[in-house]
Amino acid sequence: MLDHLAYEAPKPKVIAGATGDWELVIGLEVHAQVASKAKLFSGASTTFGAEPNSNVAFVDAAMPGMLPVINEGCVALAVKTGLGLKAEINLFSAFDRKNYFYPDLPQGYQISQLYHPIVGEGEVIVDMGPGVARRVRIERIHLEQDAGKSIHDMDPHMSFVDLNRTGVALMEIVSRPDIRGPEEAAAYVGKLRQILRYLGTCDGNMQNGNLRADVNVSVCRPGDYEKYQETQDFSHLGTRCEIKNMNSMRFIQQAIEYEARRQIAILEDGGSVDQETRLFDPDKGETRTMRSKEEAHDYRYFPCPDLLPLEIEQGWVDDIAATLPELPDEKKARFVNDFGMTEYDADVLTAEAENAAYFEAVAEGRDGKLAANWVINELFGRLKREDHGITESPVNPAQLGGILDLIAKGDISGKIAKDLFEIVYTEGGDPAEIVEARGMKQVTDTGAIETAVEQVIADNPAQVEKAKQNPKLAGWFVGQVMKATGGKANPKAVNEIVAAKLGL
């Protein structure tokens, strides 16, 4: 069994400064939109791209006297997420009001969970190459409402507000500061996204903002992080800055790199880093101050009087646990063990649950390595050329499996199989019937191959003489025979017969 606890930890990113080396320390707060059809406290729809202000219930618009009602489905999805991250589920949690004014938040507060989050400590194993992985601890996951959207670029004199997003359920997934470099941060978001998509609790669409991260960055000297790990005392770490609302893996990496170098320059200049919230400007590749600690909001959190504490039963949690699918780490380990494939191939095949299911349908009762090879190289390669995903594949697993069966039976060569694949891909149809109808069957009849070999030998006496001096030239005869038979001769038989007839 491939043991995911037996991985080696990757080295932290080191930046050489004028006064010595620096290491990076990163913690992420990921906001993941819960894949629920209705909002967290109202029945309004969460459909993306709807007409502005068409998905707004009275409670979302904060009409006087309206009361929030918890959406049980959202709670179930948060619990499922917690279980998927091997986290502790809190049977008692509660909602708090985080007070601040924002034009797209009509209530004047966001309902969140500060003191008693629904999910406690968990973990994400972040793969950084074969046998190398980082365990990133999850501190907590809490449920909260999203705000709406202010639109400033539609009119020169007015701003608009769209409340469609107001009140949509978010899971805030808070990591410990266990991430040690820009690539790791991107890989962490990627792995988290993959797990959420496997679980079906968030669609992970970063472009639509359904998954976005606040990135906390600090720098320290080599050895300091180990001291923090031993003691969990944050004073061993540097002061952090938080870069808000990142929804691109590439920008996350650029922002971390820039931010670390900015902090190092300040520290090496004898200054100190101010704890502040910053924004990344993708055009300039820089982060800049959004608000400093002095201006930081005092949110005056207090328990939301409109909602009772959330008390759930262990039996209900167990029922949800029973619905968990096989998750990426387990699936990957099983693919490596059962099919003897490389970790790299297993990564490709388990990237999305649909890819893995497709592969397993092809591999069932067949040679797993051959199936992996065909799914990854031929099918994925072909789909990629048209920017298609597996769900849009014109070739279904039964058809691809049919092609592999024809190879296994020796009916077609690997080369003809590729032509056949292209026909099935573009025209559809049953592979065995196509091979029959188009005369693509491999010639294994040695009599027919012998005749073809004899013909080539008779036509090329000069080449025969040369080949007798230099047996490597036999390959030329094999090529000629393959050409003469339209690539349908069994290559192994051709090789043997050519060698025999040339007396090699």
Q: Which residues bind ligand ADP (CB under 6 A)?
A: 25-29, 174-177, 216-218, 234, 237-238, 240
Tell me the two tokens of residue 430: 């049953």
Which one, 71 or 112, has the nearer CB to ligand ADP?
112
Instruction: Tally the C-alpha atoms within 13 A of residue 3's C-alpha that lie toward its C-beta.
Output: 4
Least separation, in Å, of the C-beta of 435 and ligand ADP? 57
> How far does CA 401 lie from the centroid of its chain?
27
Give first-to-last CA distance, the chain, whole Å.
47
Tell me the two tokens of residue 435: 């091979």
Least separation, in Å, of the C-beta of 135 and ligand ADP? 14
Least separation, in Å, of the C-beta of 149 and ligand ADP? 23
Least separation, in Å, of the C-beta of 365 and ligand ADP? 47
Which one, 26 or 449, has the nearer CB to ligand ADP?
26
Cβ neighbours around 276 below 10 Å, total = 18
Least separation, in Å, of the C-beta of 22 and ligand ADP? 13
Cα torsion 481, 485, 489, 491: sign: positive
Least separation, in Å, of the C-beta of 290 and ligand ADP? 13
Residue 119: helix, strand or coil by DSSP? strand
Distance CA 341, CA 337 (A): 8
Which one, 197 or 240, has the nearer CB to ligand ADP?
240
Which one, 26 or 406, has the nearer CB to ligand ADP?
26
Task: Please answer whether residues 98 and 114 qualify as being in contact, where contact means their C-beta atoms are separated by less than 8 angstroms.
Answer: yes
Q: Which residues pair with 212 in a beta bridge?
A: 31
Give the residue closest to ligand ADP by C-beta.
27
Distance CA 292, CA 241 (A): 9
Per the listing, tokens 């978001």 go with: 189
Tell me the two tokens of residue 272: 């100190």
Which one, 84 or 238, has the nearer CB to ligand ADP?
238
Q: Which residues pair with 444 in a beta bridge?
A: none
Which one, 296 or 437, has the nearer CB to ligand ADP?
296
Least separation, in Å, of the C-beta of 277 and ligand ADP? 9
Which one, 242 or 378, has the nearer CB to ligand ADP?
242
Residue 4, judged by CB atoms within 10 A of its CB (0-12, 13-18, 19+), counts as middle
Task: Please answer whether residues 315 and 342 qualify as being in contact, where contact means their C-beta atoms are separated by less than 8 angstroms.
Answer: no
Least separation, in Å, of the C-beta of 125 and ligand ADP? 17
Which one, 124 or 407, has the nearer CB to ligand ADP?
124
Amino acid (1-letter code) at residue 123 = E
Least separation, in Å, of the C-beta of 217 and ligand ADP? 6
Task: Please answer whether residues 481 and 449 qualify as being in contact, where contact means their C-beta atoms are separated by less than 8 angstroms.
Answer: yes
Distance CA 261, CA 24 (A): 10
Least separation, in Å, of the C-beta of 11 and ligand ADP? 18
List the one residue out of 12, 17, 29 whose CA is nearest residue 252: 29
Which one, 242 or 345, has the nearer CB to ligand ADP?
242
Which one, 59 or 217, has the nearer CB to ligand ADP?
217
Cα torsion 393, 394, 399, 403: sign: negative
List the one residue out of 408, 415, 465 whose CA is nearest residue 440: 415
Q: Are strands 92-93 and 241-246 parallel, antiparallel or unpaired?
A: unpaired
